[in-house]
Amino acid sequence: MSDISFEFCDFQNPRHIEAYTSLLNHYMSDPMGDFPLHDKTLQQLLVERLSKHPTAFVLFILCDGKFAGFSTCFVNFSTFKIKPFLYIHDLCIHQEFRGKELGRKLMEKLVSIAKERKYCKISLEVRSDNTSAKTLYNKLGFGECEPKMHYWEKIL
């Protein structure tokens, strides 16, 4: 049985910065990601800006003391519910630790945090071809919005 724990990322802690940038790079190198973030200058810029973002937090999941995954989250606000809500932007379990239900445990912890903080909902986006993530989210009670919403963007 593995020892599972959680830590909020402290962007003043070099160990946390290294874990976050390493895990993020792993996540971005995955076929479900975008591109690796090997450039140290960009990594430093990301950490600097994310650490100053007023509603951002990163939660690590550790397995036997090793950083196994993370989630980058932002607190947003619902004008309809007049309450804050949690937006999960990134969620990744390192390939070495997959198959141990750590993704489920990390999501359950995020749900627990959102409930403790009295947020009205949790939102996230998932690629249409990411069947493993959609299966996990569905098992945890997540589903498409009613009415169905579409994710749109304009690249600037």
Which tens digit of pLDDT belongs to each residue from 28-38? 877 666 666 66
Task: Name every residue whose Cβ is closer than 8 Å to that of residue 106 and which is 6 or more positions away in sequence.
Answer: 6, 59, 61, 69, 70, 71, 91, 93
Q: What is the 3-state composition of the chain as percent helix, strand, coil, each rounded to the nearest 5? A: 35, 25, 40
**Domains assigned to the chain:** 4-139 (3.40.630.30)
Q: What is the pLDDT of residues 29-81, one digit of tens each?
A: 776 666 666 677 888 888 999 999 999 999 999 999 999 999 999 999 999 99
Query: What mean pLDDT is reported for the chain?
Result: 91
Give the containing element (helix H, strand E) for 93.
strand 83-93
Are 74 and 50 within 8 A, CB to CB? no
Q: Sorting pLDDT into bands at 50, 70 and 90, what band is 128?
A: confident
| pTM as predicted | 0.91
Amino acid at 15: R
